[in-house]
Amino acid sequence: MENILKTVSIVAFATVLLISCTDQKSNNATEVISKTQTTEIKKINNPKKGKHVPNNLVCMVNDAYMGKEQIEVPFEGKMYYGCCNMCKEKIPKDQSVRYAVDPHSLKKISKADAYIVVIGDNDEVAYFENEQNYQLFLNENAL
C-alpha cells in the first residue's frame, strides 16, 4: 500500500509539473516521469546478473540496461541505442561510445553488433563479440 501511495504521489507531482510548466520546462517534467517509469519497469523486468539482454533495452552511452526500449540512433549502417537526447547526439560524434572491448577475446567490437549481458548489481552491461565468447568467459570467471 505504501508503494502505491508513493507512486500516486510521484505521478500527481509530475502531472502538476507538466500542467504548470512552459514548453521548455515540460520537457524536463517529461524526463522526470520517464525516469520514474523506467525505474518501475526495471524493477519488474530486471534481468538477473549474467543474463543476456536485447540491444534495444540498453543505453550504449551509459553501458546500462534500462528496462525499456531506448532511442534508436542509426549510424554508418548500424543501430545504436541511447536513453536521452544527449546520448542521441553523442553516439554519432564520439567513437568511444560506439565500441567496447569483448572481455573474453579483448577485441574491439561495435556495441551495435554485440551480445550484451548484465554484469553488475546496478544494471551495468558488458559487450561480447558473440554468445560463444560469453560462455567461454563464464567458464573462466565467476560473475
Question: d(Cα 78, Cα 56) in Å, to the nearest integer?
Answer: 12
Across the chain, mean pLDDT equals 79
**Residue at 87: amino acid letter:** C
Question: d(Cα 91, Cα 93) in Å, to the nearest integer?
Answer: 6
Task: Centre a 10 Å sphere on the Cβ of residue 23 and count the other Cβ atoms it contains.
Answer: 6
What residues of the chain score a pLDDT lower than 70? 1-46, 142-143
CB-CB contact of 120 with 64 (8 Å):
no
13-40, pLDDT tens digit by residue? 333 333 333 333 444 444 545 555 544 4
pLDDT at site 48 = 82
Question: HEC states along 12-41?
Answer: HHHHHHHHHCCHHHHHHHHHHHHHHHHHHH
Cell of 42: 526495471
